[in-house]
């Protein structure tokens, strides 16, 4: 990945963070004039917001492909409640 691709990737990643999109499970790859965002977000609302954001945030990118699914975050368990 060249420096321009890295800069575009950083712009996209920063925009997702500023928009409050949970990007922990998202990967952004840029190669020339094409960007690909792949991974999962916790809910459909966030996926819709991400798609809208990507339409406006990628300067100099000819196209943005998305492979983003919804995978709800499971609550963390605080130990096993079964008796020994």
Q: How far is CA 36 from the centre of its chain?
A: 10
What are the C-alpha distances in Å from 6 to residues 47, 73, 81?
A: 23, 29, 46
- In tens, the pLDDT along 11-62 reads 999 999 999 999 999 999 999 889 999 999 999 999 999 999 998 886 667 8
Domain presence at residue 81: no
C-alpha pair distances (Å), 63 with each of 31, 43, 66: 11, 24, 10
Report how far residue 78's alpha carbon sits from residue 46's, in angstroms, rounded to the nearest whole number.
27
Indicate whether 84 belongs to any domain. Answer: no
The domain in which residue 56 lies consists of 3-70
pLDDT at residue 61, rounded to an integer: 79
Q: Is the predicted pLDDT of residue 69 greater than 60, yes or no?
A: yes
Q: Is the pLDDT of residue 8 over 60?
A: yes
Phi, psi dihedral angles at 56 (to 5 degrees): -115, -15
In the prediction, which pLDDT does 81 show?
57
Q: What is the CATH number of the domain that holds 17?
A: 3.30.1340.30
Please give the model's pTM, rounded to 2 decimal places. Answer: 0.79
């Amino acid at each position: 990945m060249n420096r321009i691709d890295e800069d575009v990737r950083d712009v996209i990643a920063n925009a997702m963070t500023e928009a409050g999109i949970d990007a922990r499970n998202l990967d952004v790859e840029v190669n020339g004039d094409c960007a690909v965002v792949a991974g999962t977000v916790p809910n459909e609302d966030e996926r819709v917001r991400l798609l809208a954001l990507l339409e406006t945030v990628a300067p100099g990118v000819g196209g943005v492909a998305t492979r983003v699914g919804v995978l709800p975050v499971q609550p963390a368990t605080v130990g096993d409640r079964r008796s020994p």
